[in-house]
Structures are given as structure tokens and as C-alpha cells.
Structure 1
Amino acid sequence: MGNTLDIIIVCILRIFVLLYLYQTLYLLVGLFCKPKRFVAENFHRYAVLISARNERAVIANLIESIKNQDYASELVDIFVVADNCTDDTAVVARQAGAIVFERYDEQQKGKGYALNYLLGMIKQQYGPDYYEGYFVFDADNILEKDYISQMNTVFDNGYSLVTSYRNSKNYSDNWITSGYGLWFLREARYLNNARMILGASCVVSGTGFLVHKDIIKRNGGWNCFLLTEDIQFSTENIIRGDKIGYCADAMFYDEQPVRFIDSWNQRLRWSKGFYQVFFRYGRDLIKKIFIEFKFSCYDMFMTLLPGLLVTVLIILACLGVVVAEDTSSKILMDSLTSLALYSVVASYVSFFVMGLITTLTEWKNIYCNTRKKVFYLFTFPIFMFTYLPISIVALFAKIHWKPIPHSVAVTANQIKGQ
């Protein structure tokens, strides 16, 4: 029996290694290859879209960082949709210099609905072709001074969808904020950056991206309303054959939840949203993989693949073998205990190495003291382990969009001065 179970485990591990082997190439490319850089010949007119719900504490800082860009101010207009607000977000945004629309709809909640409403108002008042591209930000974001000019270089070189380098406003707060921050840094350099260098499609992650007007016109506005509208948007465009670009030199900052309950709620929505996208688009991605041999569709499929669900199925399969072999409960427990311990240790080491490589290579972009940078290497795997119960609950729970409170009102210079 022991030999049978060992053979099953080894075969499963080999399959997983083969499926994710391409990410080793991503790692090597991220380590040793320089990011792609472009030069712009044209300066395009942009609209900045911000969906905000009760964000009076932070939205003025974002608007200020947009107005202080080194890009021609007459080519950038800032639009805010104050979405179901119960505070004076709209007033604060107007005073800061944004064009503000107020939306009240308790039936259609979420960023996707708010963006679609805002695009509809812009189309109605300015027409569908006035702006060549649309930036999308969350109200808690802060932009580096050259953000728009850097994004314009990639946009001007033929990329109709462009994402950017996501950093953290409050990396140093605790093990939760650093866990988010380290993952986003890893995503920027060792996923999207590597994809861009290799000519594959990148993936939009939440906020900080640019969309060509033709994409918006083709979609009739913003047509993604699942719990993770960003992942749905990426998946739909990759299936259509659009390539999402990445600008390594365009950096913005994002606020991460400090309290575990807020992190739980946010990641519960993300996990449920990933399941929604996987089960809605998984079949289409598989068709593209095997019929048209689209690597970006394979990459997207592996990004969406619910690893927890696969792991549970593997354990159940092993259990089935044990029962079929009529093995004693002691052998069963020993086998499953060994499998669980191996999985925990291997996962901890993998996450630690992932965090270590990212921390060393992105050291200058992590704004906290050296002691915390080192300490958070050891808590990063723990942060990632907390996805386990979140993913289990997300499989069965009925989840609705909930706002995450933001309160870190700082400038880019203040972030870097920590």
C-alpha cells in the first residue's frame, strides 16, 4: 500500500511541476533580463476613471498626484463616480479638481457597475472619441510623478491595454500589509514583467491600468461585473486575442488592509471571483489552448486554476486508494499525515524563497526598515497560508461586494520617506 500511495504522490507532483514549469522561465527572465522600454512619438488625451465609495479620507491625495504629473495637464481629465456614498466624497473630489458624478443604486453594487455608469456619462457629455484612452484607479492610489508619461510610451507603441508596477503605501504596518505588498511586487517583476519581455499577455490586477477607447467602444462600456471584474476583464480580452502590455517604469501605490477581518473579507471576494471567472471562462480558455495553441490562454488558465480544489481532489483520490486497498486506519493516518506535513513544509519553503528573491531584487522599492524587511520574509508564507481557509469558505459562501475602508492619506514622497 505504501508503495502505491508513494507512486500516486510522485506522479501528482510531477504533473504539477510540468504544468507550472513555465513560471521558472518567468523567474529567470525577471532576474536576468531588462524590462522593455519604449519612446513615445505622440501624446494622447486621457480620461482618468475613479470609482469611490466613502473615500473622503484619501481621494484628494490621488487627485493631487494626478494633477502633479509631468504630462501635459490639458490632455488629462479626472472623473470620479461617488458611488452610493454616505459621506462627502463628492464634495472633497470636486474641491480637489475632479469632475464628479454621483450614483445611487443599491441593487447593482460594485466597481464594475460604477465604471460602466461613469463611462456612460462621459460618452453622453464628451462623445465616444474625445478621449483616446482611459486610466482606471482606486481612490486610495497614489501615482509617481512620471506615471502617465511612462504609460503613454507603451500605449503609443501599439498596446491597447497596459498595466503597471503596483507598490504599497503601507508595506511596513504589519505582516498583513507586507504580505499583500510582497505578492504585488512579485507579480509585477516576475509575472507581468516576464510576460511582457517574452511577448505574452499580461494580466490586469485590480487597479492602475490603461484601456484604449476602441476596447471600451467594442464592449459597449464596461461589461465586467463579477466579483473580480479585473480578472474577468483580463480573461475576456486574452480570449479575444488582445495582448495586455506592462510598463515597468510606471509606479503607483496602493493601500493594503491592516486588520485581518478586512483582509479576510477582501480576499474572500477575490477567491470567490476567481472561481466565478474560472467556471465561466475555463472551457473557452481550454479551446483556445488546444485549438489555436494560445500560450497566453494557457497562462491565464493556470492563473485561474483553483489550486485548493485540485489539492482536495488529490487527497480524496489518495483516500480512495487507501480504502480500496482495505488498509488499516493507522496506515491511512500515517500516509495522510506525511502528505500534509510534506505539503506544509514544501509550501512554506517555496513561499519563503519567492519572498526572498522578490525582497532582494526589489529592495529599493520596499519602503520600510531593514529589520522589518527581513522579519516579513518569515511571515509572508503564513500570510499565504491564510488563503487556505479563505478559499474553502469561498467555495460555498454566498458573497457580495463590500467596501474596504481606507485611511492612509500620504503623498509619494511621504511613502518613500518612511
Structure 2
Amino acid sequence: MLSIIQGVNLTICVIFTACYSYQMVYAVLSLFLRPKKYEAKEEHRYAVLIPARNERSVLPGLIESIRKQNYPQELIDLYVVADNCTDDTAQVVRRAGAKVFERFNQRLVGKGYALHDLFNEMKQDGVLEKYDGFFVFDADNLLDENYIREMNKVFDSGYRVVTSYRNSKNYDSNWISAGYSLWFLREAKFLNHVRMRLHTSCAISGTGFLIHRDIVERNGGWKHYLLTEDIEFTVDSVLQGEKIGYCATAKLYDEQPIAFKQSWNQRLRWAKGSYQVFGHYGGALVKQAVKKRSFSCYDMIMNVSPAMFVTFASLLFNGIFCIVGIFNLRVAPQIIPATLLAIAGSCLNVYLLAFVMGTLTTLTEWKEIHCPTGKKIFYLFTFPLFMMTYIPIAVCALFQKITWKPIEHTVVKTIEDFQS
């Protein structure tokens, strides 16, 4: 029985290493590969799209940062969809000079449906075709003054979908907001940056991306309504043969949750959404990864597959055998120490892997992290704990029915707070 336990634990370790070893290679390459520089021959015309639900406090900051872009303002039009708002978000946006579409639909709820209705409204108004591309932001975002100019460079080079560098407005709030922030900084530096340099497809993460009008027209507007519409759009685009680009010099600041309950609910939705995407597109991704030898498809499979299940499987397997040992005194001296050691080893491996990941991210992005030095160091030790909470979240998401719920945003800052 001891040999079975050791064999299964070894198998789990080998499977995890085999699946995700390429991301370890990414981490090494990211330390040596510098972002490629792009130049634009043309300044394109863009529409900025912002789905917003009761966002009167933070929207003015985003709108102001758009108005201060180092890009011709006559080439930027701003559209906000006030989605089931119960406050005066629409009035605030109108006073700021943006175009507003108010939407009231309690049955079809979520960002995907809001974007769908906004695109339809623009098409009916006959304005869709006058734009070369469409930016999508969340209401709590802030943009660096060169954001649109830098994104335009990558867009003009031929990428029809482009994502950007995602930073945080409130890294130093607590260990939860810092956990989110490190994760997104790690995605930018150690995944999308390397993907871009290796000419494979990047991945969109939530907010701050640009879509070519041709793709919007091909898709009939916005057609992605799963709980994680950003991941669904990424996977669908890759399956359609699109290579998503990444602009490291286009910086966006995003607000992160600070309450654990709010964080739990949000990540529960993300986990459920990943399962939905895997269920809808997993077969097609595997088929293209094998048939067309598409590394981008393999990368997306790893991006949506529940990696935390590998750790959970190890904990569950060893936990069951530990209980067997408790009730079977004959084999207890062998089984209990072995299983307890394996459980401790799994937890330690997750902690150390996350700690190394967080440390590398903090060191390489040190100047981009707006936080006192002491907190930067302290959050290196809490980041692994933040990541380990994904294990029960991933399990709960399997069994719970989850619907989209709005996240309240309260961090009111201006872009000058970060550029200074």
C-alpha cells in the first residue's frame, strides 16, 4: 500500500510538471527578453466602451484619464453603457461629455450582455463602421497618458486584438488586493510579455483590450456571455486563428477587492467561468493543438484548465489514505506518516512555488508597484496564502450555482497619483 501512495504522488507531481514546465521556461526568458518596439504609420480612430453599473464615484477618474491622453482627442469617442444602474451614473457620464446608453435587463445580466447591447445600439445608430477599433475598459480603470498612443502602435502593426499591462490602483490596501495585483503583474511580465516575443498568442485578462472592427463585424457584435467573458473571447479568438498581441508600454491601473468575502465570490465566478470555457471550447482546443500543432491552443488549454485540482487531488488522495490508516492499526505505522508527509509536502510546494513567483514579480516590477518597501516585502509572504485559497474556491465552484454580481468600487484616485 505504501508503494501505491508513493507511486500516485509521484505521478501527480510528474503530470503537473509536464503540463506547466513551459511557464517556468517563460519565467526565465522574461528576464532576458526586452519588449519589441513598435511605431505607427497611422493614427486610427477608436471608440472607448465602458460597461458600468452604479459607478458614479470612479467613472469620472477614468473619463478624465481618457481626456488627458497623448493622442488626438478628435479620434477618440467615449461610450458608456449604464447597465441596470440604480444611481445617477448616466447623469454623471453625460455631464462629463460622454455618450450614454442606458440598459435595464434583470434577466440577461453581466458585462457580456452589456457589451452586446451597446454594439447593437451603435450599429443601429450607424456609427459602428466609422471606427477602426474598440477599446473595452471597466469603470474603475485609470489609463497612463500614453496608453492609447502605445496601443495604437501595436494595433497598426497588424494585431487585430491587443491587450495591455495591468497594474493596480490599491496594491497597498491589504494582503488580498496585493495578491490580486501580483497575479496580474505576473501575467503581464511572465506570460504575455514572453508570448509576444515568441510570436504566440497572448491572453486577455479582464479589462484593457482593443478589438479591430473586422472582428466585431465577424462576430455580429459581442457574442461571449459566459461568467468569464474575457477568457471566452480569448479562446474563441485563438480558435478563429487570431494572434492576440500585447503592449507592455500601455499601462492600466485597476481596483482590486479588499474584503475576503468579496474576493471569494469574485474568484468563485472566475473559477466557474473557466470550467464553462473549458466545457464549451476544450474539445476544439485539444483538436487544434494536436491536429494543427498549435502551441497557442495548448497554452490556452493550460490557461483554462483547473490547475489547482492537481494539488487538491494530492491532498484528497493522501487524506483518504490517512483516514484508512487511522482505522487500520496494522498498516497505520506506514501509511499515516507517509500521507501526512505528502500532504505537508504538497502544501509546502504550493507555498514555495507561489513565493518564488511573487518574489520574481516584485523584483522585476519593483518600480511599477506603488507601495511602501516594507509592505512589498510583507506581501511576498502572504501572496502564497492568497493563492492557496484558490484550492477550496476551485472545488466549491464545481458544485455551486453562480451568477454574475457587481463589485463595488470605492478607490477614487487620479492618474497623477501614479505618474508622480
- The interval holding the TM-score normalised by the smaller chain is over 0.9
Deviation per CA, 1:41-73, whole angstroms, max 9, x where unpaired? 011000000000000000011011001101000
Q: 1:27 matched to which residue of 2?
A: 27
Code of the residue aligned with 1:58 in structure 2: it is V
Query: Which of these residues, 407, 414, 417, is aligned with residue 411 of structure 1?
Result: 414
Q: Does 1:186 align with 2:189?
A: no
Moved more, 221-230 or 380-389: 380-389
- Structure 1 residue 375: deviation in Å? 0.6
- Structure 1 residue 278: deviation in Å? 1.0
Q: 2:284 matched to which residue of 1?
A: 284
Q: 1:157 matched to which residue of 2?
A: 157
Identical columns (%): 53
Q: 2:358 matched to which residue of 1?
A: 355
SS in structure 2 at match of 1:21 = helix
Code of the residue aligned with 1:164 in structure 2: it is S
Q: Distance in 2 between matches of 1:32 and 1:60?
A: 39
Q: Does 1:336 align with 2:366?
A: no
Q: Does 1:256 align with 2:256?
A: yes
Q: Distance in 1 between matches of 2:214 and 2:338?
A: 56
Give 1:66-145 correspondences, 5 Å limit.
Answer: 66-145=66-145
- Structure 1 residue 127: deviation in Å? 3.9
- Structure 1 residue 329: deviation in Å? 4.8
Code of the residue aligned with 1:182 in structure 2: it is L
Q: Distance in 1 between matches of 2:319 and 2:387?
A: 26
SS in structure 2 at match of 1:163 = strand
Code of the residue aligned with 1:149 in structure 2: it is R
Q: Distance in 1 between matches of 2:296 and 2:167?
A: 25
Give 1:251-400 correspondences, 5 Å limit.
Answer: 251-314=251-314, 328-329=331-332, 331-400=334-403
Code of the residue aligned with 1:360 in structure 2: it is L
Code of the residue aligned with 1:135 in structure 2: it is F
Q: Distance in 1 between matches of 2:26 and 2:320?
A: 36
Code of the residue aligned with 1:98 in structure 2: it is A
Q: Distance in 1 between matches of 2:88 and 2:319?
A: 57
Q: 1:168 matched to which residue of 2?
A: 168
- Structure 1 residue 376: deviation in Å? 0.6
Question: How many corresponding residue pairs?
Answer: 416
Contact 2:16/2:310 (<8 A) preserved: no
Q: Which blocks of at least 5 consecutive residues in structure 2 are unaligned?
A: none
Q: 1:48 matched to which residue of 2?
A: 48
- Structure 1 residue 314: deviation in Å? 4.9
Q: Distance in 2 between matches of 1:9 and 1:264?
A: 29
Q: 1:202 matched to which residue of 2?
A: 202
Q: Distance in 1 between matches of 2:383 and 2:319?
A: 31
Moved more, 28-37 or 122-131: 122-131
Q: 1:57 matched to which residue of 2?
A: 57
Contact 2:271/2:397 (<8 A) preserved: yes
Code of the residue aligned with 1:110 in structure 2: it is G
SS in structure 2 at match of 1:162 = strand
- Structure 1 residue 388: deviation in Å? 1.6
Deviation per CA, 1:365-405, whole angstroms, max 9, x where unpaired? 00011011101111111111111221121110001100000
Moved more, 155-164 or 252-261: 252-261
Contact 1:367/1:416 (<8 A) preserved: no
Contact 2:171/2:177 (<8 A) preserved: yes
Distance 1:412 1:140, change over 3 A: same
Contact 2:314/2:343 (<8 A) preserved: no
- Structure 1 residue 116: deviation in Å? 0.6
> So what's the TM-score if we normalise by structure 1?
0.96
Code of the residue aligned with 2:137 in structure 1: it is F
- Structure 1 residue 321: deviation in Å? 8.6
Q: 1:216 matched to which residue of 2?
A: 216
Contact 1:70/1:145 (<8 A) preserved: yes
Contact 1:319/1:332 (<8 A) preserved: no
Q: Which blocks of at least 5 consecutive residues in structure 1 are unaligned?
A: none
Distance 1:356 1:319, change over 3 A: closer
Distance 1:320 1:414, change over 3 A: closer
Moved more, 406-415 or 146-155: 406-415
RMSD across aligned positions (CA): 1.8
SS in structure 1 at match of 2:137 = strand
Q: Distance in 1 between matches of 2:12 and 2:311?
A: 10
- Structure 1 residue 145: deviation in Å? 0.2
Moved more, 1-10 or 87-96: 1-10
Q: Distance in 1 between matches of 2:334 and 2:138?
A: 52
SS in structure 2 at match of 1:394 = helix
- Structure 1 residue 340: deviation in Å? 1.1
> So what's the TM-score if we normalise by structure 2?
0.95
Q: Distance in 2 between matches of 1:126 and 1:329?
A: 74
Deviation per CA, 1:229-272, whole angstroms, max 9, x where unpaired? 00000011111111000000000100001111111111111111
Distance 1:294 1:204, change over 3 A: same
Distance 1:104 1:184, change over 3 A: same
